[in-house]
Every structure is written in C-alpha cells, then in structure tokens.
Chains A and B, each alone.
Chain A
C-alpha cells in the first residue's frame, strides 16, 4: 500500500511538472522570440542563438507603442476605479440592506455577465460617433466599467459577507449615519476585498480587444491589444514579428508579476462569484 501511495505521489508530481511546462511554454516562446535578432526570426528554433534587445529599442522609438501603453494604463485604471466604486455601493446594499427588488438587481447583474459584447458594438459605434465619444478614453471607459460590474459586485459581495458587521451596528447605535458607518468602519476592513476586485477588473479592461478595435481609430485612445494586432513595424520592409513579440512581453510581464504576488486573493476572488450559487 505504501509503495502504491508513493507511486501515486510520483505520478502526480510528474503531472504537475508537465502542467507547469505547458502553462509556461507560450510565455517562454514569446520572450525568446522578442530576444532573437531580426535575421534569426525565421530560424525555426525555440531559443534565440544570440540575444539582442533591438526590438525593445525599436518599439520605444516609434510613437505608436508608448501611446498605446499610456492609453491602456489610463483607461484600465479609470474604468477599474469607477467600476469598483459603483460595485461597492451595490454589494453593500445586497449584503446589508433589506429591500424589495433585490432579486431583480441580482438578475440584471447575472444578465449583464452573460451579455455578448459584440451585440452592442454597432449601436455604441454609431452613438459614440454622433455624441463625440468615438476614439476617446471615455468611450472605452464606459463599456469597460459596465461589463466588469458583475465581476466586481460578486467579488465584493462575497467579501462583504465575511466582514464583522457588528462593528457597523455598534457605530450606528453610537449615532453614526449608515453612510458614516460604511465609510469609516467597513471600507477600511474591506480593503483587501476591494483590492482583489480591482485587480480582476483591471485585468479584464487591460485584456479587451473587441471594444478597443471597434471604438477607436487613432493613437489618441487605441489601447495595447488593438495596437499590437495592427502593428506595422518600424520599417515597412521588415516583418514586425520581433516588435510584436517585444511589445507582448512588455504588456504581459507586469500583469504576471501582479498575479503571482496576489495569487491567493485572485483565486479567492475568481471563485467567489461562481461557487456560492
């Protein structure tokens, strides 16, 4: 039996190593591609023969990538702040207050989480053009904020349920208004949950491609995923593979580092919404 158990443990460890290699392979590949010399890009090898940073220098010399990076950061951060703020209010109402229509609020949240974004790009495209939001930060912040609300509301509700709400009651008995009790007592305690929701929302906004290609057309608001997909390269005679790879690495590494630093919270947040039902 002991022998059998040991064999099982070895088998699981082996499987673990395979899974980790599988998860890391595309990342390693894009990094290695970004470090190859232009002449070696077509050598069909996994690892670069000679390491060069020429592609990194090239993408920062060109104006399009730095502009896209700035747009991505600004738009994703603004959408994250707004989405988490609005979701905080809703989560508080759902967890702490009794009101008729709570079921309808939850149903609408669920409906939005299933909604296909491609169904609204046409109307938004037309609307944004007529009211001047096309190709602006606001034009992307609004859909990102909205489509991340369900995720933020679920994550925050799950965290809010775990808070010691007696403190809130005590504060209200002492004469604090519900809003004061919420802002001064609950928000600081809920900070880890709020932070988790913010990371998840940020990753969603950072990742989006459909709205970014449909609702922008120039450097003023085009974000990184759209910029990378339409990269023209530093010169028109050169395949932009190296530049694309370098840009990919630059936008991927910060998110990976963030996810690894806060992995426990992210896992808790990702599964909070889905499993409680």
Chain B
C-alpha cells in the first residue's frame, strides 16, 4: 500500500518535467523527420508533397554538407584537444597553488559568465583589421576572418577561451578525488613527478576525463554562436548548425532543413554512443 502511494507520488512529481522534455525534444524531432520526407518550402506553401528520401539525397550529395561536416569536425577536434590540455593545466594550477587559489578560481569563472555572442564579438574585434589591436601588436597585416585557416584559428581561440575554464573546473573536481596517500607512497618509492602523473593521476582521472570530453565534444559539435557572429559562415567556415539554421530560418526550406536537422541529430547520437561504449568498456575493466 505504502509502496503504491510512493510510486504514484514519484510519477506525479516527475510528470511535468517529463512532459516538457518529451514535448520539446521527442515530438519536434519526430516532426522534423516527417518534414524531412516532404517538399516543404514556406515560400511556396501550396506545393507541399511527400518526396520520400529525396531531401536526404540532396543534402548528402551536396558539397555544402560535407564541407560543413568536415569544418565542424576540425573545430570540434581542435578546440576539444587544446581545451583538454589547457583545462588540465588550469586544474593542476588550482589544485597545487597554495597562494591565491581562490582568486584564480574566481577569475577563471569569468569566461563562463560571458555571453558566447559577446565573447565571439570581443575576439572578432580584437583580430579585425580596422578595429583590432592584434595586427598592430604582431606587426602583421592579416585579414584574419576572411581567410579559411586564419578564420578557424580565431574561432577555435574564442571557443577555447570560453570553455577551457569549465573543463578545468571539472578536472579539478576529479583531481580532488585522488587519494593523496597513494601519490605520497609512490613518491617515497622513488617515482618521478611525471611517472606519478602518468601511472596514478591519469588512470584515476579517466572517468572524469571521459565525462568532461563527452560533454565538451557534443557542445563543440553543436557550435553555432561563435561561427555565426564571427564569419556568418563566410570564408568557407560554415558548420553543420549554421547550415541547418540558414536552410531552415533564412531560406525557410523546412523540408530540406529538417533533413539537415535529422542528420545532425544522428551525428550527435553516434558521438554519444561511441563515448558511452567507452564508459561501458571502462566499467567492465573495473569489474574484472
């Protein structure tokens, strides 16, 4: 009787949140799938018709999609790898620093507090060839945001600045879970700092690292704000999210755009599954 009441209460408490989440994710993605099977262009609303997989064929056979996908992967890989290194260094700094640890932690939170659009604009203005100080500082005459690779450089720099601190904080939390006795014992046994890092710290950090990597990879893959603000996709820097936005909202082609949406969803699903498999392997090796 008691258990019955408890169960009913639990579902009652969860119901509003579950309903909201299903309504704003599951239902629209289903609707997106339906739209993606139709010719559905809001500029020609009378011509809606079922076209099967034709939209997917046009997306997958267009160079724009593959270029955007490779751009997205370059930005994701570049920013996540560099962020991991920088974030780890920041975490070690906050962990080791005896003096001013609080100050460092406070200042590191500032990029997290800044609106992404604003940070993207700050970096854009800094590298801009008329308003920026970077060219003057380095004595260069580079049009950073109008050339392919230098635009990537600026985009990745902005992404790293904005999110490395978050990575640092996550990894710091992981670092504090490592038993200090173990490190001290290894030190007494003559292990060097590098050996201790490689053989103790890193393996014990693996779960935290995987979680941090998963969330940052997914986040980086969805990148939209920074690219849109800095280049609007010019200089061949379009990412998949920018393509999706342009087709859906700027060109109002809901059918074609929804095919892009569904493909992005599948990519994210694939990344998540790959990572979760990594977790699975992890818990298995632990159980053994």
A residues apposed to B, CB below 8 Å: 9, 12-13, 15-16, 19-20, 22-24, 26-27, 29-30, 33, 41-42, 44-46, 86-87, 89-90, 92-93, 97-102, 105, 108-109, 111-127, 142-143, 145-147, 149, 153, 178, 203, 206-207, 209-210, 213-214, 224-225, 228-229, 241, 244-245, 248, 251-252, 255-256, 258-260, 263, 266-267, 270-271, 274-275, 277
Residues of A within 8 Å of B29, CB to CB, are 119-120, 123
Determine if B14 and A124 form an interchain contact, defined as CB atoms under 8 angstroms apart: no
Residues in B neighbouring A27, C-beta threshold 8 A = 110, 114, 122
Cβ of A93 and Cβ of B10 under 8 Å apart?
Answer: yes
B207 within 8 A of A: yes
Residues of B within 8 A of A102 (CB): 10
Q: Are B117 and A149 in contact (CB under 8 A)?
A: no
Interchain CA distance A142-B55 in the complex, whole Å: 29
The contact string, 1 if C-beta is below 8 Å from chain A, for chain B 3-32, is 100110111011011101111110111011
**Which secondary structure dominates chain B's binding surface?**
helix
> At the interface, yes or no: B208 with Cβ under 8 Å from chain A?
yes
Q: Which residues in window 132-183 of B have CB below 8 A to A?
A: 132-133, 135-137, 161, 165-166, 169-170, 172-174, 177
Residues of A within 8 A of B218 (CB): 114, 116
Task: Check A118 against B244 for contact (C-beta < 8 Å).
Answer: yes
Q: Is the CB of A120 within 8 A of B24?
A: yes
Contact of B115 among A108, A120, A225 (CB under 8 A): A225
Q: Which of B110, B115, B229, B261 has the most CB of A within 10 A?
A: B115
Tell me if B104 is interfacial: C-beta within 8 Å of chain A: yes
Q: Give the interface segment out of B57-65, B76-84, B194-202, B264-272.
A: B264-272
Chain A residues in 8 Å Cβ range of B27: 123
- Are B133's CB and A46's CB within 8 A? yes
Contact A116 B11 (CB under 8 A): no
B114 near A252: Cβ-Cβ < 8 Å: yes
With A42-B131, A209-B228 as known contacts, state yes or no: A24 contacts B31, CB within 8 Å.
Answer: no
Which residues from B are CB-within-8-Å of A270? 112, 166, 169-170
A116 and B118 contacting across the interface, CB-CB below 8 Å: no
> CB of B93 within 8 A of chain A?
yes
Closest to B258 in A: A122
Nearest-Cβ distance from residue A81 to partner chain B, whole angstroms? 13
| A and B contact pairs by CB, cutoff 8 A, 20 listed | A19-B108, A20-B104, A26-B122, A29-B122, A44-B136, A45-B136, A86-B16, A90-B18, A92-B13, A99-B11, A108-B22, A118-B244, A119-B32, A121-B245, A122-B35, A123-B261, A214-B249, A229-B121, A275-B177, A275-B208
Instruction: Name the one of A89, A121, A228 contacting B248, with C-beta atoms under 8 angstroms.
Output: A121
Interface residues on B, range: 35 or more
Shortest distance from the beta carbon of A259 to any chain B beta carbon, whole Å: 4
The reply to whether A12 and B97 contact each other, CB–CB distance below 8 Å, is yes
Q: How far is the CB of A226 from chain B (nearest CB, A)?
A: 8
A12/B93 contact (C-beta < 8 A), A29-B125, A97-B9, A274-B211 known: yes
Closest CB-CB distance, A265 to chain B, in whole Å? 11
- Residues of A contacting B17 in the complex (Cβ-Cβ under 8 angstroms): 86-87, 89-90, 149, 153
A260 close to B109 (CB less than 8 A): yes
A225 to chain B minimum Cβ distance, whole angstroms, is 4
Q: Within 8 Å CB of B54, what residues of A?
A: none
Chain A residues closer than 8 Å to B161, beta-carbon distance: 22-23, 26
Task: Tell me, yes or no, whether B90 is within 8 Å of chain A by CB.
Answer: yes
